[in-house]
Chains A and B, each alone.
Chain A
Amino acid sequence: MAASNHLPIDTIHKTIIFDDVAIAFEDQVVLDGISFELKRGETKVLFGVAGSGKSTILKLALGLMKPDRGHIYVLGHDVTTMTEEELFDLRNQVGIVFQESALFDSFTVRENVAFRLMEEKLPEDEIEKRVREALSFVELEHTMDMLPSELSGGMRRRVGIARAIITHPEVLLYDSPTGGLDPITSTTIIELIMKQRDVYKTSALLVTHRLQDGFTLATHRYDPEAKHMVPLDGAVSRDVHTSFLILRDGKVIFDGTAVDLGHIENAYIREYIS
């Protein structure tokens, strides 16, 4: 594996490196020797059946959990050896969108989105400007003074995205951002993820159950002038920096591009993507 104790970590080209990571909850092994890399500017889509450890990978990357074995390097830091106090600084450079949004329910949308900035004690006018910018990115400027309970599921996810991107993080982690949403809202969310990928070139790990989310990301690009996504010329291309990773029984059974996936012979994967 690329990351070794003896070799310097390549942070120029890689934002996240999982090196032989394993974790078990009580007697159940969830991840067993997972290794992969997330290149700078790349979006890696994580597939797998429910309980295959996709969300665990995101929590491990943020240091919210510690693995039983292996090393995880995020922006050059080994999060497996860092203290919680040290991790707080690193987490300022990583954004996460939780499965159920995890918005603070007693805070307004504005306070949720501005949370990091308020913690950093930025001037009020600076906070206001950046909150508006983040909320306009997800087209929810009008919800500033609303509480999360007043928003629909799709709107909550979009506020979650605004909260994650407000500090312009180098890496974004999306935990099933389209889970439980209708197809139209899901497409809106995927378009926002694509916009973040193509406009801001942010590296991202995207956990999803929906194959179409991954394929839409791999076959479309965001057009800033038209302000919506457009299909790539010539079906699938590497230009969009999108790759797939499939998990099964705690192991990586596929790590490659959409083109590679199309040529795979593995029966399980063929059935999974069919």
Chain B
Amino acid sequence: MELLSPTAIAKKNALAVQEYAHLSARSIANLFRRPLYLADIIQQADLIGVGSLPIVVLTGTFTGMVLALNTSATLQQFGSLSLTGQLVSVSMVRELGPVLTSLMVAGRNASGMASELGSMQVTEQIDAMRALGTDPYKKLVTPRVTSTVFMMFFLTIISDLVGLVGGYIISFLLLGLDTFQYWNSAYQALKYNDVITGLIKPLFFGFIIATVGCYYGLSTRGGTQGVGRSTTQAVVAASVLILAVDVVLTKLLLSFA
């Protein structure tokens, strides 16, 4: 393997950031340019949104269940088992719903985008598209970004809801909590800011998933091995970026509370 000097590594990384920023900016700018590939946006929304529904529902349900189980052990010591719904709802809506949904969607779709666009790149299909007078950013990137951002919003709402249902199942069946008590506590605990925070985050995370997936796909080099490498890198980079941006967003949104 070729060893690179620190300067070469710095240059390579700076170029990657520049190219990623360029792709992100073009994906947004293309929303205001014709043609707008509505059919592609709907197709991608179906693939990303409907296709991710099973994993999002399962992840949300199990997370809600585990939250109820873990918090109940501590709450029971203080005789506050009735607050289980409150803890599950705040945790799910503010943090776990958006983050876990995004990580699941990143695992499924950032990899899918990277491998699909990567395969197109190494088989010259992207060049063919440019040669045929079509902007691949407009045709391939913008529809993916638009539909991922749009669908992440709804997937997170579904994840929050099934998480609360999961917590309820455990609270009702194992902890013996009253149905009204659980849902009332869950509802009362949520503040306007919690809901806003929980619904703003997935928009940013959706943008990260699609742009990172497309970036790694379009920058694929080196045949099928390169496609595999891009796919892995896309999932890792998207996941890390989601968690890092989550910290920044949480801090920012808390300051507006």
Contacts and interface: CB of A to CB of B under 8 A. Distances in A.
* Mutual binders A and B: yes
A98 B128 CA distance: 8
B184 interface: no
A163 B129 CA distance: 11
A119 B39 CA distance: 12
A102 B125 contact: yes
Interface in A101-134: 102-105, 115-116, 119, 121
B133 A88 contact: yes
Interface residues of B, number: 15
A104 B133 contact: no
A64 interface: yes
Contact of A91 (B35, B124, B125, B131): B131
Contacts of A115: 132, 134
Contact of A105 (B125, B127, B135): B125
Contacts of B119: 105
Interface in B117-171: 119-120, 123-125, 127-135
Contact of B134 (A105, A119, A121): A119
Contacts of A98: 124, 127-128, 131
B141 to A, nearest CB: 13
A100 B124 contact: yes
Contact of B132 (A99, A105, A119, A121): A119
A96 B134 contact: no
Nearest to A116: B132
Contacts of B127: 59, 64, 98, 102
Nearest to B130: A64
A94 B130 CA distance: 12
Nearest to A166: B132
Contact of A102 (B35, B128, B134): B128
Please indicate which of the listed interface residues A62, A84, A88, A163 has the most CB atoms of chain B within 10 Å of its own CB: A88
Contacts of A103: 125, 128
B128 A91 contact: no
A89 interface: yes
A178 B134 CA distance: 26
A212 interface: no
A136 interface: no
A120 to B, nearest CB: 9
Contacts of A92: 133
A104 B135 contact: no
Interface residue SS majority, chain A: mixed
Nearest to B128: A102
A115 B125 CA distance: 12
Contacts of B123: 100, 102, 105
A116 B127 CA distance: 14
Contacts of A59: 127
Interface string A73-96: 000000000001100110110101
B133 A102 contact: no
Nearest to A99: B124
A232 B68 CA distance: 87
Contacts of A104: 120, 125, 128-129
A99 B128 CA distance: 11
Contact of A84 (B120, B124, B129, B135): B135
A102 B130 contact: no
Contacts of A102: 123-125, 127-128
A24 to B, nearest CB: 17
A100 B130 CA distance: 16
B130 to A, nearest CB: 6
Given A100-B124, A103-B128, 18 more contacts: A59-B127, A62-B130, A85-B135, A94-B131, A98-B127, A100-B123, A102-B125, A103-B125, A104-B120, A104-B125, A104-B128, A104-B129, A105-B119, A116-B133, A119-B35, A119-B132, A119-B133, A121-B35
30 contacts: A59-B127, A64-B131, A84-B130, A85-B135, A88-B134, A88-B135, A89-B133, A91-B130, A91-B131, A91-B133, A94-B131, A98-B127, A98-B128, A100-B123, A100-B124, A102-B123, A102-B124, A102-B127, A102-B128, A103-B128, A104-B120, A104-B125, A105-B119, A105-B125, A115-B132, A116-B133, A119-B35, A119-B132, A119-B133, A163-B132
Interface of A: 59, 62, 64, 84-85, 88-89, 91-92, 94, 96, 98-100, 102-105, 115-116, 119, 121, 163
Give the top 8 A-B pairs by smallest Cβ distance, nearest first. Answer: A102-B128, A102-B124, A91-B133, A92-B133, A88-B133, A96-B131, A98-B124, A116-B132
